[in-house]
Structure 1
Amino acid sequence: MNLGKLKNYLNLFSLQQAAVSIRDRFFAPEHEEVPYERWLEHTRISSRGYAKISKEVFHFQPTIGVYAHAEGRDRAAFVQSLSLQTYRNVRPLKDCPEAEYTLFAGPGCTLTPDMLSSCVRLLNEDNGGYVDLVYFDSDCIDAEGRKTNPAFRPEYDPILLRKVNYMGNVFLVRTALFRKVSGEMERDSGGKVSLDSDGVHAFLKRLCKGEHVRPGQERSGTVRHIPRILYHEVLENARKVSVDRHIPLLKKDLELVSVIIPNKDHVRELKSCIDSLLEVNAYHNLEIIIVENNSSSPEIFQYYEEIQKRDERIHVYTYTGSFNYSRINNFGASKAHGRFLLFLNNDTVILKPSSIWYLASHAERQDVGVVGALLIYPDHTVQHAGVILGYGGIAGHAYQGEELGELPGEYPELLFEHTRNVSAVTGACMLMRREVYEQAGGFDEELAVTFNDVDLCLRLRKEGYRVLICPNAELIHNESASRGAEDSEEKVRRFHREIGIFVRRWEKELEAGDPFYNPNLTLTGRTYTCKDPVREARAPYLKYLRME
């Protein structure tokens, strides 16, 4: 590592912005974007490979019934792909009422030869039968017959499923559950269940209605995901994705929100932040706690006096210790009276009036631990849309630097638009209930500068709470506003030490990978683009284990 370059980014008094800047630059993308065609070349299974798969012997060999919703040319292509399956214990569902599992296939879909073998392999790994539903990754076939638009899906996310059918149009389901839900669905005048895009979405939501997977156990529940391209869709059909765009009209204030803002000097940035809370923000049931930390300019103290006179909801408390982001925020939380705690950087600006309402409305749910917001730079590129565990080696921001409306591929943009589970969110804007914060013990003060926000989120997930990113809550984050130079060797050593602490603490999670970021996606290049199977290390975090 180039220590001289690192020192240019680390600033003792820039709060967490400096740490985030280091994080983003130190763990920067290393490789060029990998086209999907190249990824396919490296991952394609040969005919010899399929022959080997066909010889696999399984202890549990379920009969699989097929329920295909295809007509004409689509049906012919589907039937041909079914005839090439390496697992042969498969029949039409109407001909085998005893089938343990049913493969549902929507229109315009064809299967890879090893799809059913992959399903049965997973069922055998699970001791033959605790899985209710299995879904897969897929791609599209365009008019010229080229494979394109891969949908590399996350692990089971019930929050996301409520809004969008991210699971796709082909899935394996336990037959008893399939029949039960089919009997509950509304039917058309001909007595058939509607299986258009909205119908499939409704069907999947009903299938998963009773599946309560504890955070951190997404890969071991009754709803499973096989992260491999196991079917193809005709491109025009794949575009028809069901999305529930219902937005609540009434946004009444919930309980008191305590906004905690650490600050040192930086009058202009703090003023913009406070003005947005008082003038743009439409959630009025709040208190604003500014934690003053060793400011030296007379202007900032004059501003403190002015704003406390301006609004009785604003309070300034002084923390006199040396800079420690975790300790400062914990100090601020100790002064708060609200049921909700909103940790906010001083260089953020509320962009959408209902942002705090959206954060609080999600955090109010008992299974939710913390909620983060969409943060954008002043040039309207993305700064933060959730944290990807393992990206860049340890953790990095999803979609960072992307133009709004020009995200990589249709599928990532679909995910970007909706509230969903993530492994972590940035401390620049995170809201949680006080009881959750206290149960977690607040921020870990041993992590004074960096990864304290990610660490808190991972601890909450370990306790069984969800971590959500809510794109409806949108703020501008002027991340570079308070960044400066720092030539302290002590701070550089501290940064090294904190990386080592984090990696050793969360080595198991880093090894397993982020459940909401598909393992076929890169951890070193542009987020949500294909991984380079040749150049990318399996466990890039390992090089940081001995960092001190």
Structure 2
Amino acid sequence: MSGPSRSLWIYGAGQPISSVRNALGSATGQSASFAEIVAIVDAGIIDELRLGDSPVRLVATPDGDDSGLLNTLLSQTPSDWIVWLDAASQLVPGANSTLGRTLGRFDIDLFYGDTQLADGEVARRPAPSPIRLLSQDYLGAMRGFRVDSVRAVGGFRPGLGGAHRFDIALRLAADERRVLAIPEELSRSQGAAGAPTEAHRRASADAVAARGVSAEVSIAGSALRLRYPISGAPLVSIVIPTRGGRATIRGAENVLVVDAVRGILERTTYAPIEIVVVADDATPQAVIDSLVEVAGDRLRLVRWSGPFNFSGKMNRGAVHARGDYLVLLNDDVELISADWIEVMLGLAQQPGIGMVGTLLHFEDGTVQHGGHLYRDSWAGHIAFGWQPGRDDPLGSLGVDREVSGVTAACAMISADTFWEVGGFSTLYAGNYNDVDLSLKVRSTGRSIIWTPHARLFHFESKSRVATVVPEELATIRRHWGTRLLNDPYWR
């Protein structure tokens, strides 16, 4: 066996004998052997699984808490690694050989890989994503734990039956640098992942507390929902560039910026906000008057006299903003989530997070923005044009998650971070300004989070004609090169 020694644990509690047999067949059929294969199964099927010359060790799960059994196996294993496989899945041919070639090259505590699905799709898993893992066990039914590391964190905890693999992963993934996503298909699965249980909720809540973070963790359908309380009551400056344009929305003519500001002030549940409107000289006086009437002393009006330059306008607005946090916002939006500021601010205040973006919908309800997607030297939007309810095999549109970038149509960033990275580059007057800002934020080591729990309509391109200037495309490629080739968070 090449590489560090590996024990395979097939966890089959509650699984039918046919699933366990398929998992065992995939394990014993590997071209590279495991140091040991342990099948943890219900006592009632052990006799039917026994084969005289089988290398598999069959262990019966106890009634009630199985943490004691798992810790006994942990103390007895001769291997450097535990490869955990749920019995509803199988290893693909050659998976163990891949692990042998890979694991010795990296000083890590946890690994996972891609999964072949029954419908022919492949669940391609993202790069290590600490915020996402707190809400969703996206690692799949097969993952590996370094034995010494599992022992160091105290082994398997009692009271977490059905969530042991999630709990161990959370504790080992506290440092994302010690987690490896192997971009190869290592397993295949016959069904979707089950819904989280109270044990999963408890594991996530304990992981949050261990990191010194306060959050309310609840079960929300197919994932967990974390609500991060806000520290203090910081002023949030909502910076909106405008020309005072009009558009027909739902059959009625709207003054975009006036309706956006009115909706924000009428529906936003977070009180300490100010509205910073950066208005071109061409903005009609009637629009200015309406803004003053709607926003009163919460309005800070800033003039822009130069040629159109989105970046320049946003920078000027940020100069005049008094808030500790900036919301970068287009004028062609409408709130869906009244608590949008609380959701973004709770995330933005978490350690290591540099910027937060939201779920944006077109007027017809289809998705406009699920995070930035950087691929093949282009920048686009994840889930662009998807119908409501559509999702990828991992359920990515239902959870807070790390992304490569977010659109400046709606994003929150602390004022300190905004100025630390130099704000928007005025080289990008119309396009890629938010791509450049996102990559600058990530280059500081901070992460960018997209959340589905703050939602807005974005009537994109209603306020101007969206065109790509070749010079801007050439500039973003020149500045960021390989960072635009492959997106680690959306494969």
TM-score by length of 1: 0.72
| 1:381 partnered with 2:384 | no
Residues 305-358 of structure 1: CA distance to partner in whole angstroms, max 9, x if unpaired? Answer: 433xx5211121112111111111100000011000111100111111100111
CA contact (8 A) 1:65 1:96 kept: no
Q: Is the 8 A contact 2:261 2:291 kept in 1?
A: no
1:77 paired to 2:32: no
Deviation at 1:139? 2.6
- Aligned residue for 1:284? 271
Q: Tell me which amino acid in the other structure corresponds to 1:120.
A: G
In structure 2, the residue matched to 1:477 is: 458
Counterparts in 2 of 1:485 and 1:377: CA distance versus 1, 3 Å: closer
Opposite residue 415 of structure 2, the aligned amino acid is R
Q: Match for 1:284: what amino acid?
A: A
2-structure distance, mates of 1:137, 1:156: 13
2:378 matched to which residue of 1?
A: 394
**Mapped partners of 1:154, 1:363: distance in 2:** 21
> Does the 8 Å CA contact 2:225/2:399 hold for their aligned counterparts?
no
Is the CA contact (8 Å cut-off) linking 1:304 and 1:316 kept in structure 2? Answer: no
The offset of 1:102, in angstroms, is 1.0
TM-fit CA distance, 1:140: 3.1
Q: Counterpart of 1:264?
A: 243
Q: CA deviation at 1:372?
A: 0.6
Q: Following TM superposition, by how much is the alpha carbon of 1:183 offset from its aligned partner in structure 2, in angstroms?
A: 2.8
Q: Distance in 2 between matches of 1:204 and 1:183?
A: 11
Residue 371 of structure 1 aligns with an amino acid whose one-letter code is V
Matches within 5 A, 1:173-322: 173-181=145-153, 183-187=155-159, 194=161, 196=162, 198-209=163-174, 211=175, 213=176, 221-235=177-191, 238-240=193-195, 244-246=223-225, 248=227, 254-266=233-245, 268-307=255-294, 310-322=295-307
Aligned length: 421
- Name the CA shift for 1:266/1:249 in 2 (closer, same or farther; >3 Å): same
Deviation, structure 1 residue 240: 4.5
Measured at CA, do residues 430 and 174 of structure 1 come closer, stay the same or move farther in structure 2, by a change above 3 Å?
Answer: same
What is residue 134 of structure 2 aligned with on the other side? 162
Q: Is the Cα contact below 8 Å between 1:251 and 1:354 reproduced in 2?
A: no
Larger relative contact order, structure 1 or 2 (CA cutoff 8 Å, min sep 6)? 1
Cα deviation, residue 384, structure 1: 0.6
Shift in Å, 1:383: 0.6
Deviation at 1:297, TM superposition (A): 3.0
Indicate how the Cα distance of structure 1 residues 240 and 352 shifts in structure 2: closer, same or farther if over 3 A, else same.
closer
Asked whether the 8 Å contact 2:326–2:412 carries over to 1, the reply is yes
**1:249: Cα distance to partner?**
9.7
Q: Distance in 1 between matches of 2:229 and 2:270?
A: 12
- Structure 2: distance between partners of 1:368 and 1:497: 31
- Contact 1:387–1:398 under 8 Å retained in 2: yes
Counterpart of 1:67 in structure 2 is: 9
Deviation per CA, 1:93-147: give whole Å up to 9, x if none. Answer: 6597331111111121211121111112122443xxx121110111333xxxxx5
Report the aligned-residue RMSD: 2.4
TM-score normalised over the length of structure 2? 0.80
- Specify which of 73, 80, 86 is matched with residue 100 of structure 1: 80
Establish whether residue 138 from structure 1 lines up as the match of residue 111 from structure 2: no
Who is 1:499 aligned against?
A: 473
Q: Secondary structure at the match of 2:359?
A: strand
Q: 1:476 to 1:86 in 2, by over 3 A?
A: same
Once residues 365 and 121 of structure 2 are traced to their aligned partners in structure 1, the CA distance between those partners, rounded to angstroms, is: 25
- Give 1:457 shift: 0.6
Q: 1:316 to 1:246 in 2, by over 3 A?
A: same
Cα distance in structure 2, aligned partners of 1:505 and 1:245: 38
SS at match of 2:331: coil
The share of aligned pairs that are identical, in percent, is 26
**Offset of residue 246 of structure 1:** 4.1
